[in-house]
Structure 1
Amino acid sequence: MSSEQPFRFRFRVRYGECDAQGVVFNARYADYVDIAINEYIRTLFGDYQRLLDQDLDIQVVSLTVNWKAPAQFDDVLEARIRAGRIGNTSFTLHLEFYRYGDDKFIADADITDVMIRSSKMEKTPIPDNIRARLEAGAPGVLISHAGEHIVASGQAS
């Protein structure tokens, strides 16, 4: 990823997300990607309903996850998101997951969504205004659901 701070989303690993080995169960990463992407989309567009009100929606067509290290119960993970390829009707977002505190690289993922016309359930070109927001991203934005203490400077303690 480039040196510019990406969009970041923090969340805490819950006990029920771990498997018999005591680490996050692999299938949970699809949930983590979905939750992080929803926060990213909300940041870009203000509210998912704004897409739906335009008769637009997005559908996942590909999700690839690569694991680098285990995450465990009560770890705070930080998803860092940047836009990848933005095509005519689809776009790819790249996510990297790090353990907050020691910055251990846990996993990365690429998710490709296709833009659809909701009323017809057919793919449609990405409108220029949406393309522009996807291209701009949300650099430097931090959303946290982890419950860590954020001090006035914006840094967690």
Structure 2
Amino acid sequence: MDINSSPPFELLLRVRYSECDAQEVVFNARYADYADLAATEFMRALVGGYQNLVAQGLDNQVVNLNIGWQNSAKFDDILCLSVHVSHVGNTSFSMQITMINWLTKQAIASAEIVYVMLDIASFTKIAISQGMRDKLLKGANGKRINMSGIEISTQ
């Protein structure tokens, strides 16, 4: 089932100096870290965190990650990573993550992550339960997590 109607989850973060390379832009591999962080925080908002999945005998594993770049992020930029579930299948689901510069609204990168649901005891893929499917389809209803250190107006 393809979905696009729920408001995206957003994560704000600040680019740290250690994430930049000799060209003074964010090193390409860091964007995978950003995507993973956004997906982790999205799941925390959705199901209360990774530990809650494990407590149910579940896990999810990345089986595909694609990143496309439009521009470079630089030290001290504030990035907004918007996350929404774009597809829920029988055993897998996909997240689309859009990264923009929070202040300029310039597109930086986008990522698609495909996860497969696993049984932790056998480490084999399993069907996504109806309860998890419902949560994925509903999304995080526009929740925003601010890890950037900037104050955001609530207006």
With normalisation by structure 1, the TM-score equals 0.93
Q: Does 1:134 align with 2:136?
A: yes
**Equivalent residue number for residue 77 of structure 1:** 79
Per the alignment, residue 59 of structure 1 pairs with 61
Q: 2:101 aligns with which of 99, 102, 106?
A: 99
SS at match of 2:86: strand
Q: How many residues align?
A: 153
SS of structure 1 residue aligned to 2:103 = coil
Give me the CA root mean square deviation.
1.5
Task: Report the identity percentage.
Answer: 43
TM-score, normalization: structure 2?
Answer: 0.94
Q: Which amino acid aligns with 1:77?
A: L
Q: Distance in 2 between matches of 1:36 and 1:71?
A: 16
Q: Which amino acid aligns with 1:84?
A: S
| Unaligned runs of at least 5 residues, structure 1 | none
CA contact (8 A) 2:6 2:138 kept: no
State the match for 1:50 in structure 2.
52
Secondary structure of the corresponding residue to residue 85 of structure 1: strand
More off after superposition, 3-12 vs 140-149: 3-12
Give, in angstroms, the shift of residue 84 of structure 1.
Answer: 1.0
2:130 matches 1:122: no
For structure 2, the residue ranges without an aligned partner over 5 or more in a row are: none
Supply the distance in 2 between the matched residues of 1:13 and 1:27 (Cα, whole angstroms).
Answer: 13
